[in-house]
Amino acid sequence: MVFNAHYLTYIDVAVTEYYRKVIGPNWLELAERNIFDLVLRRVTLDYLSPAKLDDLLDIHCRVVKMGRSSMNCEFAIKRGDELLIQAEAVQVCFDLETGKSKPIPEDIRERIREFEGLKISVE
């Protein structure tokens, strides 16, 4: 069986790929330039069934809510049609220079809204 902490790694990879798809292939440059960088504030995982060695897994990620400086994401880890893990995470846009949260850039907000089909709750 997959060690339970590895699911967080899978989720982290899914987040990276989500932003690569939504923002573009060079999205990590935004973090390097302190324009858009995310830190994890909270994550919850519900373990429904274990993944096993050599399983092919699909990890689904979507942003469901955006605040001024934070986003709530939902995740599903599946083996075929079987749901193994459900997770929720709160990520905060972080300023590396001040060590504090900062607003999500408007162009990033718009790209996420467009990608998600404007179905995001905004607070």
d(CA 123, CA 57) in angstroms, rounded, equals 33
Q: What are phi and psi of 61, to 5 degrees?
A: -135, 140
pLDDT score at 119: 63
Single-letter code of the amino acid located at 118: L
> Do 59 and 14 form a contact (C-beta atoms < 8 A)?
yes
| H runs (alpha helix) in the chain | 6-23, 27-32, 106-115
pLDDT at 28: 86
16-44 confidence digits (pLDDT tens): 999 999 999 888 899 999 999 999 999 99
- Give dist(CA 21, CA 58) in Å, integer: 16
pLDDT digit of tens for each residue in the chain (123 aa)? Answer: 999 999 999 999 999 999 999 999 888 899 999 999 999 999 999 999 999 989 999 999 999 999 999 999 999 999 999 999 999 999 999 999 999 999 999 999 999 999 988 666 555
User: What spatial distance separates the first Cα and last Cα of the chain, rounded to whole Å?
Assistant: 39
Task: Report if pTM > 0.85.
Answer: yes
What is the C-alpha to C-alpha distance for residues 42 and 24, in angstroms, rounded to an integer? 25
Q: What is the CA radius of gyration of the chain?
A: 15
- How many C-beta neighbours within 10 Å does residue 92 have? 19
